[in-house]
Amino acid sequence: MRKKEWKVVITFKTTTGAMGMEKLCKEEGISGRLIPVPRQITAGCGLAWCDKLESREVLEKVMSVHNLVYENIYEMEI
Amino acid sequence: MIYFDSAATSLYKPDEVADAVYDAIKSMGNSGRGAHGAALEAGRMVYDTRLQLARLFHINDCSRIAFTSNATESLNIAIKGLLHPGDHVITTELEHNSVLRPLYEMQQQGVEISFVKSDSIGRILPDQMKTQILRGTRAVVCTHSSNLTGNVPDIAAIGALCRLHNLIFVVDASQTAGVFPIDVEQMGIDILCFTGHKGLLGPQGIGGIYVGDNISLIPLKTGGSGSQTFHKTHPANMPDLLEAGTLNVPGIAGLHAGVSYLLNTGLDAHREAEQALMWHFYNGIKDIAGIRIYGDFTVKERSPIVSFNLGEYDSAAVCDQLAEDYDIYTRGGGHCAPLMHQALGTKEQGAVRFSFSFYNTREEVDFAIQAVKQLAKV
């Protein structure tokens, strides 16, 4: 397995929310990708948005501007 | 891309399936609504699909098969339409949430549930079920195969037990319809719930339910039936009883093509090919240091599934890396079978599940074995 790195992980209540996040980030030219929710956390939906730690602020801002509802934001080593 | 997630849905299907969906959208009307050519074309195809399914499952009367959207809907119809407050029902720790959650809902309404426990490799024994039978026991709900371990309970033995004690036997064939032979008469199955998009090779969004002719269910939905317009109540005859509203004709057309393919080519050759791939994979990974493989691999007959964990690695992370670095698609995390995870001790870690199709090749499996070996290295 690859070496663990610190990431920002955003969870959603539903798959619909996670898909909305992917579409939004693609439209806004923001990096990151969907991953299966890491075992350390639980979420309504099995998909989470994952990106480098430095992107947290940008992600929070874009979700806020577009009223995208997420469940939680974590910073974790995965 | 190498797809090893056929237990979730059969991505690889005969070309005829997609062609049939396309043709149905282009040419078919609404089955049972009107008597013009387009409606009749749909009606004939739907009827022929019932006949095919009846042949596949050894059902005498094809009108006892209703189309649903998936196995979950079928199981909801069976469980909620059959059980009443005060009834006792027996189920197992192998079950999927599509069985458990409707049962828990019924529990809230006064239905009593007993669970047949699994051993540490995911097996249940019919004898254990026998000890759970009470005076008020009405039904047994049991899967034909665990979606997590691939273990296949002895459905015929459980069916015989149900016949002996006059219990209604509901079988979840989500993983086995189109893969293992199913004979509702020989196996003593009263209600068979199946989906169309896995072993039956149809599209997603189509499934079905067989209800034995001595059983009457209360439908979940009522509404348009194409008949008895001025009656205030929904028709009581099968299959109309369970088919309120317009049928998924393109989905049924795709299912028709999938089942036709299976009936023409036979289930055994496909299943044996899938099991050969499963054993090849199992033998290739079983000796990796720190691997834990779940399920009963002491028997020949099992669904083509291998679930495992590598040391303490998060199963979701293993799946993610298989997808990202090797383009191998599997499923990790929890598998909607909470009691099975508990019995196997994988509640926290989940499990990496490989599930095989007869369209997969030995070369793909060899590549996957090497990938798992590499990931297992710290």
> Sign (positive/negative) of CA torsion B280, B286, B289, B294?
positive
Q: Does A1 touch chain B (CB under 8 A)?
A: yes
Count of alpha carbons within 13 Å of B6, Cβ hemisphere only?
Answer: 29
Structural domain harbouring A60: 6-77
pLDDT in tens, B192-213: 999 999 999 999 999 999 999 9
User: Does the pLDDT value for residue A57 go beyond 80?
Assistant: yes
Considering only CB atoms, which chain A residues are within 8 Å of B349? 39
Residues of B4-39 as b/e, b for ≥16 C-beta within 10 angstroms? bbbbbebeebbebbeebbebbeeebbebbbeeeeeb
Give the domains, in start order, of chain B with CATH numbers.
Answer: 2-10+266-376 (3.90.1150.10), 15-265 (3.40.640.10)
Task: Please check whether residue A78 touches B, CB under 8 A.
Answer: yes
Question: Is there a domain that residue A1 lies in?
Answer: no
Query: Looking at CA atoms only, how far is residue B318 from chain A in angstroms?
Result: 7
HSE (side-chain half, CA atoms, 13 Å) at B181: 11
Tokens for B321? 């890396």
Would an 8 Å CB–CB cutoff place B137 in contact with chain A? no
B159 sits in which H/E element? helix B155-164
Q: Measured between alpha carbons, how far is B64 from B85 in angstroms, rounded to an integer? A: 26
**Residue B34: its pLDDT value, please?**
87
**Residue A43: pLDDT over 90:** no
- CATH code: domain of residue A20: 3.30.70
For B7-62, the DSSP string reads TT------HHHHHHHHHHHHH---TTS-SSHHHHHHHHHHHHHHHHHHHHHT-S-G
Q: How many structural domains is chain A composed of?
A: 1
Select from B40, B46, B42, B96 the least CA-distant residue to B66.
Answer: B46
Q: Is residue A72 part of a domain?
A: yes
**Cα separation, B147 vs B174, whole angstroms:** 8
Q: Helix B37-57 and helix B249-265: axis angle, to 10°?
A: 40
Note whether A12 and A21 are within 8 A (CB).
Answer: yes
ipTM: 0.84
For the segment A60-64, the average pLDDT, to the nearest whole number, is 96
- pLDDT at res. B227: 85
Tokens of B184: 């509702």
> For B205-249, how does the pLDDT look when each residue is reduced to its tens digit (9 = 90+)?
999 999 999 999 999 999 998 888 899 999 999 999 999 999 999
Residue A35 contacts B, CB cutoff 8 Å: yes
In a domain, A63, yes or no: yes
In this complex, do A1 and B378 lie within 8 Å of one another by their Cβ atoms? Answer: yes
C-alpha span between B275 and B281 (Å, rounded): 10
Residue B126 has pLDDT above 80, yes or no: no
pLDDT for the residue A45: 76
Look at residue A71 and tell me if it is in a domain: yes
Quote the minimal CA–CA distance from A67 to chain B in Å. 28
Cβ distance B313 to A35 less than 8 Å, yes or no, reads: no
Whether the CB of A38 is below 8 Å from some CB of chain B: the reply is yes
Contacts of B372 in chain A (CB under 8 A): none
Instruction: Report DSSP letters for B194-259, one per residue.
Output: EESSSTT---TT-EEEEE-TT-----S-----SS-TT-SS---STTGGG--S---HHHHHHHHHHH
Chain B residues whose CB is inside 8 A of the A46 CB are: 333-334
Contact B316 A36 (CB under 8 A): yes
What is the Cα–Cα distance from B64 to B50, expressed in whole angstroms? 9
Closest CA to B96 of B35, B191, B170: B170
Query: In the prediction, which pLDDT does B378 show?
Result: 67
Q: Is A64 within the bounds of a domain?
A: yes
With H, G, I as helix, E, B as strand and everything else as coil, classify residue B308. Answer: strand
pLDDT value of residue B222: 96
Q: Which residue has the tokens 């959650």?
A: B101
